[in-house]
Structure 1
Amino acid sequence: MRQAAQNKSPSVVMAAVDPRAEIAKLSFLLGTWREIDIYEKSQFAPHGGTGTGVYKTVWGPGGFSLLTDFEYEGPQGKSTGHQVLTWHPSEECYAGCGVTSAFPGCIMITGNWEGLKLVLFGEFEAAGRRVGFRQVFSDIEDRTMLVRQYNSIDGGPLQLYGTSKLTRY
């Protein structure tokens, strides 16, 4: 048996990682969260601004994913949406997608841990512009966390777009 395991290709060995264990590392996201945002001045928020929202995250089917519903209001107006996040075994990263009432299409998301910070990346099109983003979840505690979002507009450098403080209800 040991010899057979040694002869397996790396992709077969990687599949042995338990996806439930990897997604369980994101269990801190479960529950209902109140969000308060402060936006920097940017192309999408010329005067900066503030925003608020409510996010509710539950386990997905089989415990392999997290499902999030949200309602939000900020400088760009009101929006609602859904997000799915799971562990992608062959890519060894978190992967998912989000949809929002703010614009059409699906936002594809990937991410992983950088030390104690969860970092998610994605790209979408809004108002005719290509927006790349980096969301950094930090200061993660039982009832609070911070999320900083950095945006790149049309391939430009990443710049801080906003900082969110989330508090669990």
Structure 2
Amino acid sequence: MKKILFLFIAASAILFASCGSDDKKEDPPVSSTQGKWEPTTIQLVKIAPLYTLDYPHTESCPKDYLEFTAASSAVFFRHETANCTVTEYANAFQQSGNNVSLNVLGYQINGTITAQTETSMEIQSDISAYIPIIKAQFPEYEQYLSLLEGGTVKLSFVKK
């Protein structure tokens, strides 16, 4: 189980994913998306929540964040290494209503915003969206992927 949790920590540090659906929700207001959004927690759900962990920001560095540059897109700022090098991922997040599309390291991940207020946002994705990038970035964990089948990942953000 620890290997699976490490897999999620490592994958989520690289990824922002969102998937799922909720046809009953209205489109989130565009004005509430503007600004900087900091990822706070990652939750693995399979029937019931299995595990919630803090988002793995690089220790002693500014926290990673999404900065919305337009009504429906954002740049992701990732602080890496001991000297806090910033890597910018342009077009990392595209939003159309509740639907979200992410381009992470060349992998397309689609999903849904499941909850949003002026100060918090929750994005849910099917774990299957992560499989290609996990296989490429963390091949040693490929044997554990079948255990996660049918699960979802819930990523929570707060507005900075």
TM-score, normalised to structure 2, is: 0.40
TM-score, normalised to structure 1, is: 0.38
The structure number with the bigger radius of gyration is: 1
If asked which structure has higher relative contact order (CA below 8 Å, sep 6+), I would say: 2
Considering fraction of residues, name the structure with more strand. 1
